[in-house]
Structures are given as structure tokens and as C-alpha cells.
Structure 1
Amino acid sequence: MSTIAYPAAGRGRVASDAEQRAWRISAISLMSVRVIQGFIYWGGGSRRFIYAPGKLNPHAAHWMANKFQTAMPGALFGMGHVISFMLHHFYVLYAGVILFSAAELIVGLMLMLGLFTRAAAVTSMGFSVVLMLMFGWQGATCIDEWTMAACNLAMGATLMLGGSGAWSLDNVLLRKKPQRADSSWFRWASGSRALPVSDLGFRNLALAVLAFVVVFNVGTYSYYRGSVVTPFHGGPVSPTAHHLTLTEAVVLPDGSVRFHVTLDAGTPEAPVHVVEAALLDASGAPVAQWDTEALSKMSKTSFANDYAYNKFGPGPFGLRAAMGAASMITLPAPAVHAGSVASARTLRLTDVDGRVFQTSVQD
């Protein structure tokens, strides 16, 4: 059997035609994975730049900041704080959205064309990790965002190891300058040749990549939903049932009530509607109430929202807010005796589904 130089196997290694053919077939077999992985990310970038430019328009309803804000309640490893910082600093936010979208577009195109395939695959793995940490908890019927990012992480890892094979621009670059086959950086960044490591080194690298992908994917799945070593659960942050966190409730001298509220769970597909607010005394009896009509007629000046995107405000069915909204709200003074309001110990909000949220009133 004839032999040819085979730098991928290590310096001085000679590989048979059969080994070369086996690697070539394996790389070509990944074409559907490479093209679709590329299309997924190219599609994300092209939607924003070409087909739905409103996503990059700060004045449009589908501006990406609203999407980011919905992710804050369940984001992992401090990503919620990063998102909050960006939402408070418009130029950082806008630059981040543009750069991330452009990177998706470019990396997706590189994968589809097979241009510097391994570098693009590693970058796509980074996208998957970031998206899983931010949006992985969301999904009304299942963890939709996690499923997509988990699959993309595994696809990117496979392409990083396997490369793009003969049918790629990487191979065109190699044909134009065959000496690139001896360049380590070209072999690591492109995909037209196997990685320049020994068989043992490749095995160890593949096992390390496998360990990372499995631990990260299975670990986040277990955190979000259980069903690995613990029973299924709805997640630390529910993607279906709205939840309001109330703090800093205080009765002001004029009888109005000020408090802070955050919508920190639930689906971003539907807003929460608060249909009743009430002050309760020490026995739990209501001393003041604001019904749906009263809440709907509140002035917009009664809301000091934390963010400029998803907000609390008056709606047709009481107070209305989209996922991730947070605000300091001032309820108007009720038409009751001032002494009754002063006896209030608890503030209670009730949403349209009958869920009750409450907090103590500060002295």
C-alpha cells in the first residue's frame, strides 16, 4: 500500500491512503451538521440585519433589549447582573447587541462555507454557552432555549474536532498554498486537515471536550428541571407561572402607599395583570383596597421603572407588566380614615389568575 506524509499524526508520522480516506470520509460526513449549525447562527444575525431590522431599532417594539430583560430572572452565574448593567447603559447595550448579531452572522457564514471552520466552531460553542446561561430556563412547555443551545454546543464541539474536510473553502486555501498543511495555526483554525496532534493527544482532547459538553449540558438541565438525579421540578425560576417580589412597602404621610415590585418569573409571551391591591391589618383583615378599575386609572407618574424597556404601568385589567420589569409604584391614598391606613401591616397584590403576593409594611 502506498503511503503519504501525514502531519496530523505527529512529526515524522506516515499515514496510509486508507487512513487519509477514513478521515476525509468522516469530515465530509459532518457536512449536514456544519451547514445547519452555520445556518442557525447566520439566521439569527440575518434576521436582525436584513429581515427584521426592528430588532436592532431601540424605538421598535421588538428591540432586543426587551428580549434581554426577559432573561434576567433566571440567568446563571451572574449573567443577570451583566444584563442589568447593559440595560442601564444604552451605548454598552447597543454596541453589545450589534457586535453579537454581527458575530453570529459572520460565524454562521464561515461554518456554511467551511472557512476557518474550527475557529468558527469554537466561537459558536461560546455563543451556545452564553445563550444557555441567559435564556436556558425559558420555555412554556419545555426548556426550548436550553434544548437549542445544548444541541448547538454539541454540534460546535463535533465540528471543532472533525473539521470541514474536502468540501470547504479551507481546502481551497490549502490547494492554493499546500505548505499550509505544515502550519499548526492553520490546522487548528481551519478544517481541511485533521488536527496536528498524535492519536493519543486527539483521544485525550476529544474526551476532555466530551466531558465539558456533558457536564455543562446535563448540569444545567438538572439545575433547570431536575430529572437527572432528582425528581422533575419547575425550575428555580418558573417559565410558566408569573411571580411578583414585593419589597420596601411603606405608607406615606398623605396615606398613599409606595412599594417596589419585580416580575421575576413566568413566560415572556404574556404580561402579568395585577387586578387588586390591598392593605391588611395585623389580623389579616383589609383596611384599604384598590380594585381593577382604580389600578387601571393610575397615572403613569405613579411608576418609577428601573428599566426603560419592559415596564410596569396601568393597563386595561389593572396593573400590567412584561417579564423582567421592576418598578417603584405609588398607590394613591385610599378614601378611608387615616388611622385605618396607619394600622396596615401587610401589602397584598392579586393577579388575574388568583395568585397572591405580599410583603410587610415598614413602620
Structure 2
Amino acid sequence: MSVSSVATKEAVPVSAPSSPNADIWTLLGLAMLGVRLVQGWVYWAGATRRLIYSTGKLDPGSSGYMAHKMNEAIPGAIFGSGDALSALLHHPTLLHVSIIIFTLVELLVGLGLIFGFMTRFFGLISVGLAVSLMLMFGWLGSTCVDEWTMASNSFAMGLGIMIAGGGSWWSLDHWVAKKWPRLARRSWFPWLFSGPLPVVSVTRFAQLFGILAIVFAVGFYGYLRGAVFSPLVARTNPKHHHLALTKPVLSSSGVLTLPAYVDAGPDTQGAYVIQVSVVDEHGQALETWDGKALSELPKTGFANEYKYSVFKPTQYGFVGVLGARATISLPHQGTLKLAPGTYQAVFQGIDGKQWKTHVAVGA
């Protein structure tokens, strides 16, 4: 064996086998290029729709203001997200600032992924956005599981981008590494930007991310849609409206006051009520507010908790959109005198559906 061959062997760093060569990372970046560009465009498009093309989404006075969508998400938002959304909706300034910050984060993530700048960092942030999307809106979708699909795909795509990085094509990370090689040699650079990572770390992260992605998708599918190997039974029904009627108060003269909450149903239309009745234990109607009487209720008859999803009179009664919560007051219409006892308040929907609650009249 020659001296030169021995020297050559001794010159090979011990750590070389654990550091993949640049060609592998170039291929990984190319393989994920379409995923990175699409993921970036999705977030870029979401932000620019609000900032440039549909500015009403950021205008508190517009019917398209993003807060309306957030209000609609409350009934099915999970793990405390509904409480957080409700708190924000009660503080308009904080709500507006939060919407602006969320939009700017989406914009930066979109640009970062499209141009391959700080690719792994923005891949991580995109995973966080996917989680927030699932927690708030994952249950929505009256015709298909679109919000769950969006969040699940974004979560898995973000994890894949974190593994692959930006590669060497259409990647500012690659340009930065060549322009400032000393910076690229810093230990933290490949973790935030792009470039080779230790094989052991990549293997472990890839296995972990794969498990996380399937658990995230299937777990929330089961939690939100009530099924994995069986027909869908939604946790919060996105197809049919439900009106929760609680703590009713009925006076002996027939004045009915009670909180109402549209806690399920599609976000594309509201729950229309065309008749309200007070019935006795035999099912006989003692007082009825028909569509005309309901449509003529004053604004003070609806004490809405939120200003975005509300109850309001319509031509044939009144309507509450998804997420609306209000105390409704129905005045008596004659000389009704109710004896002490238990009665029922019955709300009749325009589609024939009824919502009922027991209510007592004291002595």
C-alpha cells in the first residue's frame, strides 16, 4: 500500500458518512419543488386576497370582514379555540390587530416558500398555520370536508418542506450559501435555511413527521367527523342547523325571553324561524307569534352577543346565522293569563324543523 493511498484514507473526515453530499439535497429540493411552490402560493394568495384584491376582508365595517368567518367557526372550534375566538370577538381592536398579524404571517410564509428563503423555518411556520386552521375551521364544510382537507394537506406538506429544504434550483437559500460560504458553515444555517443535515437526524425526523402527519389527519377526521371506518357522523353538524334554546323565562302574561344560539349548520345560510309558540302539557298552543309578528319585532327584541353573526328580523320571521347568539324577547300579544306550571316554547323552522325547550311559570 502506497503512502499516498494511506494519506488519502486518513484525510477522510470521520463524520463524512453522516453528512449526505450536496447532490442528494439538490434532488430532495427538486422533488419537493412543486410542493413548496404550491404551498407558498396558497399562503401568498390567502394574504393578497385580503391585502390587495378583497380589501373588505380587513375592513371592520364590511360584510366580508374576516371576523364574520371567525364568528361562524365558534360552534365547532376545538380545544378552547372557540373560547379564544369568542374573547377576540368581544375586543374589536385586539381582533383587528390579530387579523392583520395573521395576514402578514401568511404573506411572509408564502413569499419565503415561493422564493426558497429560510425554507425550513417558513416550512415550520406553515405547519403552525395548518394547526390553527384545523383547530378553528376544520369542522366547517357543509358539502365536503374542505377545511379539514386543506389543513391536513398543509400540515403534511409543511413537514415535507422542513425535511427537504429549498434545494439548489429557484432557491434564495442556495444563493445565500454560495454568496456567503462562511455563514452557510454555521451549525444553525441548514436548520433555518436549507442544506445538508445529519443522516441520523433526518431519518428520525422523517419517521416522526410521517407518524405525526397521519395521526393529525386521521385523528382530526375521527374527532370532527365521527368516523374512520364508518359513515360520517359529524361532531358539530355542518349540514343541518340547530338552535340551542336555554334558560327560558315565561311570564304569566305570555312574555317569552330566552337565549338562543345557532350552534350547528351550514355557514352558507341561516336558520330561519317562521313561528314561535307556547304550548301546554297537552300540546295545545296557548300563544303563537306567526311570521308577521316575528318580522315586526324591534331591534331591541334581539340582544345579540356578537356584532358579526347575528339574529335579525326577515320578511317571514327572523333568522340567525351560524355562530349567532342572542337573547330574544317576544312580547305578549293579548290578555293571556298562564297558570303556574310547565310549558314548552316551540320554534318552527322554515324547513319544518322544530326546536323546543321546557319553560316554567311560577306562582
Q: Would you say same fold, with TM above 0.5?
A: yes
Amino acid at match of 1:215: V
In the TM superposition, 1:202-221 aligns within 5 A as 202-221=202-221
Amino acid at match of 1:248: K
| Corresponding residue number in structure 2 for 1:146 | 148
Question: Could you say what secondary structure the match of 2:62 adopts?
Answer: coil
Is the 2:22–2:196 Cα contact (8 Å) retained in structure 1? no
| Corresponding residue number in structure 2 for 1:349 | 347
CA deviation after TM superposition for structure 1 residue 13, in Å: 2.3
| Corresponding residue number in structure 1 for 2:192 | 189
Is the 1:31–1:164 Cα contact (8 Å) retained in structure 2? yes
In the TM superposition, 1:233-312 aligns within 5 A as 233-252=232-251, 254-312=253-311
Is the 1:238–1:266 Cα contact (8 Å) retained in structure 2? yes
Identical-pair percentage? 37
CA deviation after TM superposition for structure 1 residue 289, in Å: 0.8
CA deviation after TM superposition for structure 1 residue 308, in Å: 1.2
Amino acid at match of 1:178: P
Please give the alpha-carbon distance, in whole angstroms, between the structure 1 residues aligned to 2:314 and 2:299: 10
Is the 1:239–1:267 Cα contact (8 Å) retained in structure 2? yes
Amino acid at match of 2:87: F
Distance 1:276 1:18, change over 3 A: closer
Is the 1:287–1:344 Cα contact (8 Å) retained in structure 2? no
Please give the alpha-carbon distance, in whole angstroms, between the structure 2 residues aligned to 1:333 and 1:298: 12
CA deviation after TM superposition for structure 1 residue 201, in Å: 2.4
Please give the alpha-carbon distance, in whole angstroms, between the structure 1 residues aligned to 2:155 and 2:78: 17
Is the 1:65–1:309 Cα contact (8 Å) retained in structure 2? yes
Amino acid at match of 1:257: L
- What's the CA shift string for 1:39-90, capped at 9, x where partnerless? 0001111100110010000000101110001100001101000000000011
Question: Could you say what secondary structure the match of 1:161 adopts?
Answer: helix
- What's the CA shift string for 1:234-281, capped at 9, x where partnerless? 311111100000011111365311000000101111111101101011
**Count of paired positions:** 348
Residue 104 (1) aligns with residue 106 (2)? yes
- What's the CA shift string for 1:285-332, capped at 9, x where partnerless? 211111111111111111100111110011122111111000000002
In the TM superposition, 1:21-60 aligns within 5 A as 21-60=23-62
CA deviation after TM superposition for structure 1 residue 336, in Å: 4.6
Please give the alpha-carbon distance, in whole angstroms, between the structure 2 residues aligned to 1:324 and 1:194: 48
State TM-score, norm by structure 1.
0.92
Larger deviation: 84-93 or 200-209?
A: 200-209
| Corresponding residue number in structure 2 for 1:228 | 228
| Corresponding residue number in structure 1 for 2:162 | 160
Q: Can you give the 5+ residue segments of structure 2 that lack an aligned partner in the other structure? A: 1-12
- What's the CA shift string for 1:128-170, capped at 9, x where partnerless? 0110111111111111111011111111000001101002001
Amino acid at match of 2:172: L
CA deviation after TM superposition for structure 1 residue 15, in Å: 5.8
Larger deviation: 325-334 or 279-288?
A: 279-288
Question: Could you say what secondary structure the match of 1:105 adopts?
Answer: helix
| Corresponding residue number in structure 2 for 1:6 | none
Please give the alpha-carbon distance, in whole angstroms, between the structure 1 residues aligned to 2:87 and 2:76: 16
Please give the alpha-carbon distance, in whole angstroms, between the structure 2 residues aligned to 1:352 and 1:325: 17
CA deviation after TM superposition for structure 1 residue 180, in Å: 2.5
Please give the alpha-carbon distance, in whole angstroms, between the structure 1 residues aligned to 2:352 and 2:257: 22
Q: Which has the larger radius of gyration?
A: 2
